[in-house]
Amino acid sequence: MYEEVLSDVDESVLADLCARLTLEEKVLLLTGRDSWSTHPLPSIGLRSMVLSDGPAGVRGATWDERSPSVNFPSPSALAASWDRTVVRAVGEQLGREAARKGVDVVLAPTINIQRSPYGGRHFEAFSEDPLVTSELAAAYVAGIQSQAVGATAKHYVANDSETDRFTVDVQVDERSLREVYLRAFEGPVIDGGAWLVMSAYNSVNGARATENELLRSPLEDDWGFDGVVVSDWTAVRSLQSAQFPQDLVMPGPSGPWGDALVRAVRAGEIDERIVDRKVIRMLRLAGRVGAIDGVAASPITEVSTDARATARVAATAGSVLLRNEAILPLAAPASIALVGEGMRHPRTQGGGSATVIPAEVVTPLGAVTARFPDSTTTWSLGAVVGTGLSDLPLDSFHAPDGTPGMQVVYLNQHGEILASETRRASEVVSFEAESLALRSAVIELRLAYRPEDQHPTEFPFGVAGLCDFEVFVDGALAHQGRLRTGPGDDPAAAVLHPPSTSFLLPRAGEEVAITVRLRPVEGGIPDALSFRVGLPPRDDDPDALIAQAVSAAAAAEIAVVMVSTSPEVESEGFDRTTLALPGRQDDLVHAVAAANPHTIVIVNAGSPVLMPWVDDVAAVLAMWFPGQEVGAALADMLSGDAEPGGRLAVTWPADEQSVPVSNVTPDDGRLAYTEGIHVGYRAWLRTDATPAFEFGFGLGYGQWALTDANAPERASAGSDVDLSVTLANTGSRMTKAVVQVYVERVETSSIDRPERWLAAFKATGIPAAESRHLRITVPARAFATWTADGWVTEPGEYRLVIGTSVAKELQSIPIRLG
């Protein structure tokens, strides 16, 4: 489907280039030069290639607010669009962002399955369903690569939760691997033609993912992958891994290959042809991205739209309207009470390595107020969401010379100043071994700060980072401490979630001069560090916050409450311990809904949350982590300028007890996928429990009807089945239909199967009063199961079920496969 993005770098050129390299040069190319780039080899005109994280934007080689990135919706939001065109457009923009930032390879998309809602990194993954993941990830990859930038399908494979992610051994049977976890990679690798695959940290059935036969089969043997297998950062831990189709060790420059690999080849322990094979793949990648002199890069597709507009459209396309008691879109309300921390500080993305720094976030408060100029709007906090330090508001601090932000002074062990810079942020993050931050013995953060807190003699403040520190206020030592990670912490925690502390500092006036002197200490992953000054969570009386929101809501015609998860709940390196919203947000929604029957709740979370108040409110709109255009997208949907186009690509449970797959904690180092192929809605279909909202569900603002479903009565096993339907827009506005085709086995069978499973889907817009005839192909694979003999289709009676969710059937067609 997306073949046009494959470049045809001349293979004989690659072989010639490889032949011109010494063994040392070849081996050099196979380990990174540093955290984010590969070694150049000038002797063959090869420049260094830069790799940078996605998937919600492309950060670039530095983590720095001076080099901002467009922040797109996270993949759980993109997947909810069920729309290949929207996802492809986001991919194209990511490719352009990468090109703008000098990035050759985007370390995305994440193809892992949302096996359990407790997975901490689910916002980075697409869906609980392998087909949705596979198809949308293929479009995402094709979009990126249409800009001559490599995409990386990660993390291969079964890296579906975070607890003990560096060491866990996932036990999963062959059939489930093929039908669920590997199946998800087929789209991005085969159809999308991904130029890279990232091998995961975990082991699969006893062998590390970087030293696993799965790198050979199915990746290469069955799928024909001809790209580079890059390791997850530090996932390669042995020389032995070089014997496998593991091509690039990241980060560098040290690592288990290097000189050891040169010696092993010289000693005849490792065949040089194995090294050459990796080198050719690296050169093929370099050719595709245009990193070799004289080798033309893959062609670039012109893109006409702009990144922010694409991000905004994608945010509405993936927003799922879960409930609407005839209140949305809003009809010119006289007054709106906006409630929630997210209204001012929405979570546009999840935490961890995927983080990007947008130049601007369109806040819901600002955008909704502007979109309803004739309505009176108020805002109240309602509840405190986060438990960690938050950024100092940019308008509350400045460097000693008056520039907004803080002065960062880098010193050596003798106290001599190495350099100084002004940052428009209250944090410094670095993954570059050569950065000033990593070369300094002491770092001083100097700022003048105006505390919001009105207390006359003291104010709250906090410091984060792996360090010893001292805080001086107006020149006098006011606080000191040491911050260390805990014994069980993820090794990346020192950077991604550095230890923090908060305390009260003295004040004499409106503004205080603060110097924080930090001494970094060893720990965590190499060549990475992060420091931050910030504010601890507000300690207002929670009941008083709720009461204020309630009185604002009671006085308004409409109340819109935004509830969110926090960076302490959804991020990298740990899993969720509860699906409940953090803090007192459930109490807040209950109270606001009791005070105002026109209460609309906006859910700002990357994965499912419990909503015990769902039946008491007038509407619920799940916006996920919608990217930097969050406010504009919300205003578009509240006003009716845009329709929420999303359908759930993950089941939303009503309570924790009924979640069928909930275990993400390894036992004795092993995590057994005992549920087999019954993941997500397939698992729910086997229980008596009913989720709050089922897979595939989502309302829009329009109505449509489906008629004339047609498919052949018989088909030969192993062939695709073409289906046609007519969709009629029966409402008065343009609307989006997502046609979902599920398969059921009718005859009894010896094969353990889900009750029904998704086989095909298509999203389409239908103008008011018009009809559309759709052809949908159900691929042969949808009927096949993995057996000891490979993919096999059992003949017999099946049913094609066409519906609007896994539980809502519109029509069904019997079909006999023979």
Q: How far apart are CA 452 and CA 446, in angstroms?
A: 18
| CB nearer ligand BGC, residue 492 or residue 685 | 492
Tell me whether strands 619-622 and 320-324 are parallel, antiparallel or unpaired. antiparallel
CB of 481 to ligand BGC, least distance (A): 27
Nearer to ligand BGC, 118 or 757 (CB): 118
User: Which C-beta is closer to ligand BGC: that of 118 or that of 233?
Assistant: 233
Select 83 or 572, whichever has its Cβ closest to ligand BGC. Answer: 572
- Which is closer to ligand BGC, CB of 120 or CB of 696? 120
* CB atoms inside a 10 Å sphere around CB 174: 12
In this structure, what are the phi and psi dihedrals at residue 797, rounded to the nearest 5 degrees?
Answer: -85, 130
Measured from the CB of residue 745, what is the shortest distance to ligand BGC in angstroms? 37
Residues 6+ apart with CB under 8 A from 6: 193, 298
Single-letter residue type at 325: E
| CB closer to ligand BGC, 73 vs 340 | 73
| Residue closer to ligand BGC (CB basis): 80 or 209 | 209
Q: What is the closest distance, in whole angstroms, from the C-beta atom of residue 154 to ligand BGC in the complex?
A: 6
Q: Could you count the other beta carbons within 10 Å of the beta carbon of residue 730?
A: 14
**Closer CB to ligand BGC, 107 or 249, in the complex:** 107
- In this structure, what token pair is assigned to residue 10? 């001349």
CB 246 within 8 A of CB 199: yes
Describe the crossing of helices 630-639 and 307-317 by its angle, rounded to 10 degrees. 50
Q: Which two tokens stand for residue 105?
A: 């390879």
Nearer to ligand BGC, 250 or 562 (CB): 250
Contact 99, 148 (CB under 8 A): yes
Q: Please name the helix (run of DSSP H) or strand (run of DSSP E) that holds residue 17, with its range, or none.
A: helix 11-19
Distance in Å, CB of 194 to ligand BGC, minimum: 14
Q: Which of 502, 406, 512 is nearest to 457 (CA)?
A: 512
Nearest approach in angstroms of CB 79 to ligand BGC is: 17
| Strand, helix or coil for residue 506 | strand
Residue 9 or 495: which CB sits closer to ligand BGC?
Answer: 495
- Min dist. Cβ of residue 292 to ligand BGC (A): 24
Q: Which is nearer to ligand BGC, 111 or 609 (CB)?
A: 111
The closest of 2, 196, 203, 234 to 108, measured between CA atoms, is 196
Which one, 234 or 663, has the nearer CB to ligand BGC?
Answer: 234
Footprint of ligand BGC on this chain (CB under 6 A)? Answer: 53, 107, 154, 232-233, 353, 492
Q: How many beta carbons lie within 10 A of that of residue 639, not counting itself?
A: 16
645: Cβ contacts below 8 Å, ≥ 6 apart: 81, 83, 316, 317, 318, 319, 700, 736, 763
∠ CA(102), CA(103), CA(107), 5° rounding? 165
> What residues are paired with 208 via a beta bridge?
203
Which residue's Cβ lies closest to ligand BGC? 353
* Dist. CA 496–CA 425, nearest whole Å: 16
Distances (CA, A) of 515 to 235, 410, 474, 793: 38, 13, 8, 69
The whole-angstrom separation of Cα 593 and Cα 566 is 23
Integer Cα distance of 202 and 677 in angstroms: 20
Shortest Cβ 344–ligand BGC spacing (Å): 29
Residue 502 near residue 479 (C-beta atoms within 8 A): no
Give the burial class of 267: count Cβ atoms within 10 A of its Cβ; 0-12 exposed, 13-18 middle, 19 or more buried: exposed
Q: How far is CA 569 from the centre of its chain?
A: 14
Cβ atoms < 10 Å from Cβ of 3? 9
Which one from 83, 164, 169, 232 is the annotated catalytic residue? 232
Question: What distance in Å separates the CA atoms of residue 406 and residue 426, rounded to the nearest whole number?
Answer: 7
Min separation Cβ 317 and ligand BGC, Å:
25
CB 152, min distance to ligand BGC, A: 8
Place of tokens 């059937």: 809
Q: Which is nearer to ligand BGC, 233 or 704 (CB)?
A: 233
Please say if 232 is a catalytic residue. Answer: yes
**CA 299 – CA 276 distance, rounded (Å):** 26
The minimum distance between CB 672 and ligand BGC, in angstroms, equals 22
Name, in order, each residue with C-beta under 8 angstroms of 102's C-beta and a sequence gap of 6 or more.
50, 60, 61
Decide: 556 and 378 in contact? Cβ < 8 Å. yes
- Least distance in angstroms from the C-beta of 496 to ligand BGC: 8
| Spatial separation of the C-alpha atoms in residues 603 and 622, rounded to whole Å | 5
Burial pattern 127-148, b for ≥16 Cβ within 10 A else e, equals bbbbbbbbbbbbbbbbbbbbbb
The minimum distance between CB 36 and ligand BGC, in angstroms, equals: 8
Q: Closest distance between ligand BGC and the C-beta of residue 53, in Å?
A: 5
> At CA 654, angle to CA 650 and CA 659, rounded to 5?
65
DSSP-H helix ranges across 204-344: 258-266, 272-289, 307-317, 341-344
Rounded Cα gap, residues 577 and 14, in angstroms? 50
Catalytic residues: 232
